[in-house]
Amino acid sequence: MKIVCISDTHRAFNQIKIPEADVFIHAGDIDCYEFLSEAETFNTWLGTLPCKHKIVIAGNHDGFLEKNPVKEIQRILSNCIYLENSGVTIDGVNFWGSPNTPIFNSWYFMMDSESLKKNWDKIPENTDVLITHGPPMDILDYVEIGRRHVGCPYLARRIQDIAPKVHIFGHIHGQHGIQKEMNINYKHYMKETFYINASVMDEWYDVANKPTTFFYYKELDELII
């Protein structure tokens, strides 16, 4: 399965060239703030992509998506599979997506620590590709302002519990990249997870990064980037 992923397009999705793939993933921050027209424009763009399946989650800048029921958002975003703390299986690969992040200012889809812990506990143990808007603690989550790691520790703990093959996220623009870590939880000892910060924009909100493409061979438990 060829998968291409991006995140944090902030209304600039038309500037990004998406290659042909089996599955396209957008990990949030479309910048659907308030208006139906913003979501409709994004949906039209999704319909032009050379990808068989398209998966989209929201991010902390997607107020329109937070303020409407999931069924209504799925009706509007008819050219994709919209995940909001839910999953889908495509050709035997289990995807699960969530827009939620720790509280930061007054944005959208944010939760306090206890709520996040309960939320992450719902991620199925058979998840192969995990998609969240924000990163786990200490993985591609460092911000220069304040010089600190801002990922979610409860998400990091849940990933150790379930050991997905891939975790795709964005949110922290300046940390675009890929990091591979070996799981140290006794249930999945030494099973590797690939972490992908798929943000296409840099910290100044300029499109600076290309989409990330990889091949996932589930039957071999192998990922090639």
| Mean pLDDT over each residue of the chain, to the nearest integer | 95
Percent with pLDDT over 70 in the chain: 100
Question: In terms of residue numbers, what domain contains 209?
Answer: 2-224
Q: Are strands 192-197 and 177-182 parallel, antiparallel or unpaired?
A: antiparallel
CB atoms within 10 A of CB 91: 10
Predicted structure pTM score: 0.96
Residues 57-109 pLDDT 10s:
999 999 999 999 999 999 999 999 999 999 999 999 999 999 999 998 889 99
Q: Which residues pair with 130 in a beta bridge?
A: 96, 167
Phi, psi of 153 (to 5 degrees): -65, -30
DSSP for 87-130, please give it.
EEEETTEEEEEE--EE--TT-SSEE-HHHHHHHHTTS-TT-SEE
We report the CATH number of the domain holding residue 116 as 3.60.21.10
- Which residues, including other chains, have CB under 8 Å from residue 68's CB and lie 6 or more apart? 76
Which band of pLDDT confidence, cut at 50, 70 and 90, is reported for residue 129?
Answer: very high
For residues 184-190, average pLDDT:
77
Q: Count up the domains in the chain and report the number.
A: 1
Instruction: Please provide residue 36's backbone torsions phi and psi, each rounded to the nearest 5 degrees.
Output: -55, -40
* 196 in Cβ contact with 212 (< 8 Å): yes
Residue with tokens 């690969």: 93
The per-residue pLDDT for range 172-181, each reduced to its tens digit, is: 999 999 999 9
Measure the CA–CA gap between 48 and 109, rounded to whole angstroms: 28
Tens digit of each residue's pLDDT (9 = 90 or more) over 155-177? 999 999 999 999 999 999 999 99
- pLDDT of 205 > 80? The answer is yes
